[in-house]
């Protein structure tokens, strides 16, 4: 048997970089990595893969990216944490161009398998009003009332994948990611998510001796957070099993944002004065992953404890910030 040719779209991003790192270690794969960012802005970049800088919003770029590929991983999107997606709804929705052109190119190039990275932001907002949230099942995406902008784009793109599978026999796999975190990701600049943002704020407070922290909202909103190695393993499993229905991919370890701050303070060995910005974006009141379906189909669910993953994430961000101070 020859090698399986795979392309990771959005390879210069957080999850994409880790996925490239995973596949490049296996001689059974030829890996192509594609991202719009200049190479020096990729979170991770590797010599033993084919690296391409292309704008995947353009159809021609998508055709170049998928040529001769057996499997496509679409992780490319203009997105960030809650502050970014609430203030850039149109930009987030323009990512639909990426998925549209990649699906068309994959169909034309006879790609065997197409993975689409969706989001828990597709879920009906009415089911996320309580901080003591009932874990979200895959069916809770309908009737549709997703996160405005970003969530609507993800839900629409899910439907495109479904219909390309039904109408053109393109094998599509979809995960709804729940708050992925870990090293080699954004931790400042406005696109960072809560785990990285809180790590950065605690580290800054420790290094500057300004023992206070700003928290968006009252801090009682609840979330689950999935460590990056669980995310990568989940993607490998869904493509191996070739499951066509959208599945949750997330930890079911629920925690408040205040509890996450407690955890990072404990890791850092510091206690901070908390200032709550009630005017800042905070998202839904509660969101958690129901993992019943992924367990039924894959016999596995994300299982890295939050404290373990946060310790590793804190250490990496601490090292990056210390480099700047030095």
Query: Cβ distance 94 to 73 under 8 Å?
Result: no
Record the tokens describing residue 33, joined without a space.
Answer: 């990595």
Pairwise CA distance, residues 326 & 318, whole Å: 12
| CA atoms within 13 A of residue 62's CA, in its CB half-sphere | 24
Cα 174–Cα 175–Cα 181 angle in degrees, nearest 5 = 145
d(CA 325, CA 87): 30
Are 59 and 101 spatial neighbours (Cβ–Cβ below 8 Å)? yes
For residue 118 the two structure tokens come to 């969706």
Q: Is 150 a catalytic residue?
A: yes
Pick from 223, 210, 231: nearest CA to 261: 223
Report the 3 state secondary structure along 215-250.
Answer: EECCCCCEEECEEHHHHHHHHHHHHHHCCCCCEEEC
Q: How many CB atoms lie within 10 A of CB 89?
A: 16
Q: How far is it, in rounded angstroms, from Cα 308 to Cα 319?
A: 17
Q: Tokens 């949230």 map to which residue?
A: 133
Helical axes 306-325 vs 194-208, angle rounded to 10°: 50
CB 203 within 8 A of CB 310: no
Q: Which residue out of 73, 116, 123, 150 is catalytically annotated?
A: 150
Annotated catalytic sites, by residue? 150
């Amino acid at each position: 048997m020859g090698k399986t040719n795979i392309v990771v779209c959005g390879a210069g991003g957080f999850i994409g970089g880790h996925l490239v790192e995973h596949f490049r270690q296996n001689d059974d794969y030829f890996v192509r990595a594609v991202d719009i960012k200049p190479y020096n802005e990729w979170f991770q970049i590797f010599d033993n893969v084919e690296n391409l800088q292309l704008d995947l919003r353009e159809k021609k770029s998508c055709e170049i990216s998928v040529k001769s590929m057996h499997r496509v991983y679409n992780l490319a999107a203009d997105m960030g944490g809650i502050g970014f997606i609430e203030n850039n709804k149109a930009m987030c929705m323009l990512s639909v161009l990426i998925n549209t052109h990649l699906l068309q190119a994959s169909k034309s190039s006879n790609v065997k398998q197409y993975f689409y990275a969706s989001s828990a932001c597709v879920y009906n907002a009415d089911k996320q009003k309580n901080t003591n949230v009932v874990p979200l099942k895959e069916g809770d995406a309908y009737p549709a009332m997703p996160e405005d902008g970003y969530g609507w784009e993800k839900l629409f793109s899910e439907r495109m994948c479904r219909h390309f599978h039904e109408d053109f026999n393109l094998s599509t796999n979809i995960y709804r990611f729940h708050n992925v975190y870990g090293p080699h990701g954004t931790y400042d600049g406005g696109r960072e998510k809560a785990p990285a943002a809180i790590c950065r704020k605690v580290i800054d407070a420790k290094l500057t001796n300004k023992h206070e922290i700003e928290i968006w909202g009252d801090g009682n909103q609840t979330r689950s957070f999935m460590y990056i190695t669980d995310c990568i393993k989940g993607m490998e499993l869904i493509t191996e099993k070739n499951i066509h229905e959208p599945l949750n991919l997330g930890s079911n370890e629920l925690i408040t944002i205040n509890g996450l701050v407690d955890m990072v303070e404990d890791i850092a060995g510091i206690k901070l004065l908390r200032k709550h910005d009630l005017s800042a974006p905070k998202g839904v009141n509660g969101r958690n992953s129901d993992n019943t379906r992924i367990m039924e189909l894959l016999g596995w669910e994300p299982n890295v404890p939050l404290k373990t993953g946060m310790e590793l994430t804190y250490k990496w961000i601490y090292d990056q910030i210390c480099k700047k101070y030095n």
